[in-house]
Chain A
Amino acid sequence: MKFSRLVLANLFRKKVRLILTIGSFAIALVLFTFLAVVKSAFSRGTEIAGADRLVVVSRIGLMQLMPISYRDKILTIHGVKAVTHNHWFGGVYQDEKNFFPQFVIDPENQRQVMTELVVPDDQWNNFVNDRMGAIAGARTAARFHWKIGDRIPIKTTLYGGGSSEFNLDGIYHSEHPGGDESQFWLQWKYFDENAPGPVKSTAGWYVVKLDSPDDAARVAKAIDATFANSSFETKTETESAFQAGFAKQFGNIELLILSIGGVVFFTLLLVTGNTMAISVRERTSELAVLKAIGFSGRAVLFFVLAESIIIALVGGVIGLALAYLLIPVIGIALTGLLPPLLLSKSLLTLGVGFALLVGAASGLLPGIGAMRMRVVNALRRV
Chain B
Amino acid sequence: MIRVDSTGKSNSLIQVRGLDKTYRRGGEEIQVLQRLNLDVDKGDFVAFMGPSGSGKTTLLNLLGGLDVPTHGSITVAGDEITHMSGNKLTQWRARHVGFIFQMYNLIPVLNAFQNVELPLLLTKLSKSDRRKHVETALGVVGLAERMNHYPRQLSGGQEQRVAIARAIVADPTFLLCDEPTGDLDRKSADEIMALLAELVGKYNKTILMVTHDPVVAARAHSTLHLEKGVLVEGKTSRESVMAGGAV
Contact = CB atoms under 8 A, between A and B. Distances in A.
Most buried by A among B103, B105, B114: B105
Contacts of A12: 109
Interface in A344-382: 375-376, 379, 382
Contacts of A10: 109
A15 B64 CA distance: 36
B226 to A, nearest CB: 17
Chain B interface mostly: helix
B56 interface: no
B154 interface: no
A290 B121 CA distance: 11
Contacts of B119: 293-294
Contacts of A9: 107, 109-110, 114
Nearest to B109: A9
Nearest to A293: B119
Interface residues of B, number: 26
Nearest to A288: B105
Given A294-B94, A294-B122, A376-B61, A13 B103 contact: no
A43 interface: no
B93 A294 contact: yes
A2 B127 CA distance: 9
Nearest to A3: B121
Contacts of B64: 292
Contacts of A286: 105, 107-108
A190 interface: no
B162 to A, nearest CB: 13
B87 interface: yes
Contacts of B86: 297
Interface string A288-332: 011111111100000000000000000000000000000000000
Contact of B90 (A2, A296, A382): A296
A293 B99 contact: yes
Interface string A1-12: 011011001101
Interface of B: 61, 64, 66-67, 86-87, 90-91, 93-95, 99, 101, 103, 105, 107-110, 114, 118-119, 121-122, 127, 166
